[in-house]
Structure 1
């Protein structure tokens, strides 16, 4: 797998070709069960994969991302660099919103003003738009973007921001989107109804500018429990499920009634401690239950000790049953910025104990590790395994598992000492996680939008900003690899594994497995 920027130039110079064939429309309903909790229909509320996977049915970006993470024309047909800090995009003609109004550059400009500023967002889309300085509308179908510094991957950044209509979106709240009042998109499906933590009903947009979808309706359901999703598929109540449990995968491959669809993924499971406090940290005490006077995670020796205490390969084999790859960075081999010399650390209990002692914790301490229990495969089981490794070095670790919707909201308020979480680098390059998760949280600069732990380093900020403004691909990748090495040394996060992604369908259907792990009706077709 090679994820480079080369495909970008080809896409930028030509319009999206017409599809080679069209599926015969049917009145059938496609029923999908997802294991990821969807927290809102507002496409700018929460930069999380389950939300984006649903949103892409209703809304679109000016650039589309394919299943194998290539970037092709979407609501824009072409783009070009006029100057190092000036891009021009030509927008698609004859695109209509679901209410029949025409799509124009005004909608794009409105969107990029709204997306970074949605109230109460647990993780905003600001990081994608951090380079934008000014937007210039030339005519209804031509728009120019002025950037603060050269941004060679601007079209890739913009691919993840869904365009909303200005005429409906002005003054609209997140609740207006959830109710359906403001959920007017240009996508292949229209919103019929939304029930949080239950299901979303969609109907085909017969006036869609692109390929006509074969499904008249899509029922997009949330079933958190792995076994329940599998049972629903085998019973015939569901046409497709995602996040297939590793314990069910081989069984579904052998089952005559089902087909399995898999791909290597871009999602890294990692641990991140709290950096928001210098003094006592919630859920951290000494062995007598008294709060520690200082935040132990501010000491890199403690972070290194916790990291090398974990036997990543053991977790991959025993918990994930091979459906992941142990890692010490956040991208798979072949991705832009993957650094071959940053290898998986060998688990070393004795060295971990020595590091803790050097940091002033010879007897360890007590810690609660918070984890979701419905966000990605085996999430809470991974946390249990980590807790066992940490307890061996004297860090007595308890687990508190929470539904993802609750955990995400609490994490954004810095309520946890240590979190097990994950990040999908859907742009296929290293800067995406750096800018959103590890750079200093700064609303004005639009950095650290998903940095709930509030890690901050002037060195990392400087290195990342310098790297992303380099035009030459080879030089930019070299600079990003230097940042990857810095992260491995300073341990602001502890990467554990890179997930594989799997879906299962009833026999007679096929699914184009996506590296960005989105579960979408547009990828399901009759065999």
Structure 2
């Protein structure tokens, strides 16, 4: 996922979905209802599943919608939920059988057509959906793109209309059967289907997209009551939900905060889970009462440094990129800015977090100041008197983190720097408007090492390279292709590991840290289980004890 801030990726951000309401007595109940109170920290701007790809949106939608597939929170293993069966004989043509009897909260059936309409809307380029790229593997995707521009406010100007409005590879066979033709074999296709971007939508939602973005018509255990954007969001249990894994509370209330500013409200009992800002990390962990109500889990979010290789020297020089990597004392910056909430990264795929993740694939992620100086000299040095701009989004913790990184580079390589935080960071990244290194973050959308590799690095464009960095490697693309065409998932995982080995050799980006998810919780809740990907509290498993 692309748009998460560092604070959201680190466990300081497990505030994303938090526990139940306040500090004892009648707090946490309204009229006898069991009310769970949560914090949001990321400026949620839409609740359309096709357009939601940041942690907070996904955390809300996880209980407002139910998808074809879900993931075991301990093993990350996918299992069918709304889907009855997902099968293929050739890994290119897939048949999806949908369990009958599920409905949307307005009474419409959750059927094959409800998935097809959602996927076609997402895949149509001029709709500007954030999850559009997930449908690149579907036959007919290219015909649905056309040419268009999107400004900083999300307004789209179409220069050339697409030649198709529906995916040619997506067919509704009957009420409960979909078929999907991919552009080529992909053995991991069923694993993708638990991601938010594959949720269904009601026809009434499609008829009023703007309204549905703020008050969706879901098919999950909770329905949105009211959303005052930037302030407060509330939802109530939907009595007619037919699915399993239904929480035991009645209402959810989210309050929106900036960064880690919700910690005082957690301490006051107004929220039931939270993580402290760095300045209060030590005291929180030393508090015997608080530390007895703490859950930790290795995270899956990778923070890494990208380079505008499309700009040429020095960023297209592998020795320069190695120099930057070896100049960074990862543990020192974590101890300074995110103590206990991150671990140094020495790979591009989280070790043990998803199938295929291994530690130690990054040879040049070890702190080595002398090796960094030698690599910089080999690269031709840095222009004297010139500052290196480091681009990032506007977020307090992210800025502290990258200031620490910049200080390491200045100390160990003598390269002066300045941070370039901007509210339109992601638009600038997509438009290739950076003149220096830039911050990136990724956490997996589904449990497969392929997901760490294809989205950020694959392009099939030997001339221009991938969108964000300008990186292209035929060897890398070939290994991905071999993995996609593998006869089984185990074989595919090995091929994707070989693709990661190509990244290690080509070294297009610098892994810095993986998140370590930590959440403190109140006496009002138990069974606090953290999502293996985002680190958020899994609401559908949370138990309200009042």
TM-score w.r.t. length of structure 2: 0.79
Q: For 1:215-294, what aligned pairs fall within 5 Å after superposition?
A: 215-226=249-260, 228-241=261-274, 244-249=276-281, 251-253=283-285, 254=287, 256=289, 259-275=293-309, 277-278=310-311, 294=312
Aligned to 2:479, which of 459, 463, 474?
A: 463
What is the aligned partner in structure 2 of residue 44 from structure 1? 50
Does 2:501 correspond to 1:485? yes
Deviations 1:138-176 (A, max 9, x none): 210122222222221111111113423251244544x33
Counterpart-to-counterpart distance in 1, 2:470 and 2:218: 34
| SS of structure 2 residue aligned to 1:464 | helix
Aligned to 1:206, which of 234, 239, 246?
A: 239
| SS of structure 2 residue aligned to 1:150 | coil
Distance 1:321 1:231, change over 3 A: same
What is the aligned partner in structure 2 of residue 304 from structure 1? 322
Counterpart-to-counterpart distance in 1, 2:333 and 2:351: 20
What is the aligned partner in structure 2 of residue 31 from structure 1? 37
Distance 1:494 1:46, change over 3 A: farther
Does 2:456 correspond to 1:440? no
Does 2:371 correspond to 1:371? no
What is the aligned partner in structure 1 of residue 194 from structure 2? 159
Q: Which moved more, 1:150-159 or 1:29-38?
A: 29-38
Q: 2:171, 2:178 within 8 Å by CA — same for their partners in 1?
A: yes
Aligned to 1:197, which of 197, 221, 230?
A: 230
Aligned to 2:521, which of 505, 510, 513?
A: 505
Q: Which moved more, 1:92-101 or 1:459-468?
A: 459-468
Q: For 1:51-450, what aligned pairs fall within 5 Å after superposition?
A: 51-68=57-74, 69-117=76-124, 119=126, 121=128, 123-127=130-134, 130-131=137-138, 134-160=169-195, 161-170=197-206, 172-173=208-209, 175-180=210-215, 183-211=216-244, 212-226=246-260, 228-241=261-274, 244-249=276-281, 251-253=283-285, 254=287, 256=289, 259-275=293-309, 277-278=310-311, 294-334=312-352, 335-343=354-362, 345-363=365-383, 365-372=386-393, 374=395, 378-392=397-411, 393-402=413-422, 406-416=424-434, 417-440=436-459
Q: 2:319, 2:375 within 8 Å by CA — same for their partners in 1?
A: yes
| SS of structure 1 residue aligned to 2:119 | helix
Deviations 1:415-437 (A, max 9, x none): 33322231112423221021111
Counterpart-to-counterpart distance in 2, 1:29 and 1:106: 34
Offset of 1:267 from its aligned partner? Answer: 0.8
Counterpart-to-counterpart distance in 2, 1:30 and 1:508: 9
Q: 2:348, 2:361 within 8 Å by CA — same for their partners in 1?
A: no
TM-score w.r.t. length of structure 1: 0.81
Distance 1:356 1:196, change over 3 A: farther
Offset of 1:523 from its aligned partner? Answer: 3.3
What is the aligned partner in structure 2 of residue 514 from structure 1? 531
Offset of 1:497 from its aligned partner? Answer: 1.1
Deviations 1:356-399 (A, max 9, x none): 33333354542221234549xx4322211110121131321112
Q: 1:306, 1:352 within 8 Å by CA — same for their partners in 2?
A: yes
In the alignment, structure 1 segments of 5+ residues that lack a partner are 1-24, 279-293
| SS of structure 2 residue aligned to 1:298 | coil
Two-structure CA RMSD over aligned residues (Å): 2.8
Q: 1:164, 1:184 within 8 Å by CA — same for their partners in 2?
A: no
Q: 1:192, 1:203 within 8 Å by CA — same for their partners in 2?
A: yes
Q: 1:45, 1:118 within 8 Å by CA — same for their partners in 2?
A: no
User: Structure 1 residue runs of 4+, over 6 Å off?
Assistant: none
Offset of 1:208 from its aligned partner? Answer: 1.0
Offset of 1:247 from its aligned partner? Answer: 4.6
Q: Which moved more, 1:503-512 or 1:326-335?
A: 326-335
Alignment size in residue pairs: 472
Q: 2:138, 2:180 within 8 Å by CA — same for their partners in 1?
A: no
Distance 1:249 1:349, change over 3 A: closer
Distance 1:426 1:248, change over 3 A: farther
Offset of 1:454 from its aligned partner? Answer: 4.4
Distance 1:196 1:421, change over 3 A: farther
Q: 2:529, 2:541 within 8 Å by CA — same for their partners in 1?
A: yes
Counterpart-to-counterpart distance in 2, 1:270 and 1:186: 36
Offset of 1:125 from its aligned partner? Answer: 4.4
Counterpart-to-counterpart distance in 2, 1:116 and 1:356: 43
Offset of 1:501 from its aligned partner? Answer: 1.0
| SS of structure 1 residue aligned to 2:297 | strand
Offset of 1:269 from its aligned partner? Answer: 1.0
Distance 1:36 1:428, change over 3 A: same
| SS of structure 2 residue aligned to 1:44 | helix
Offset of 1:249 from its aligned partner? Answer: 4.5
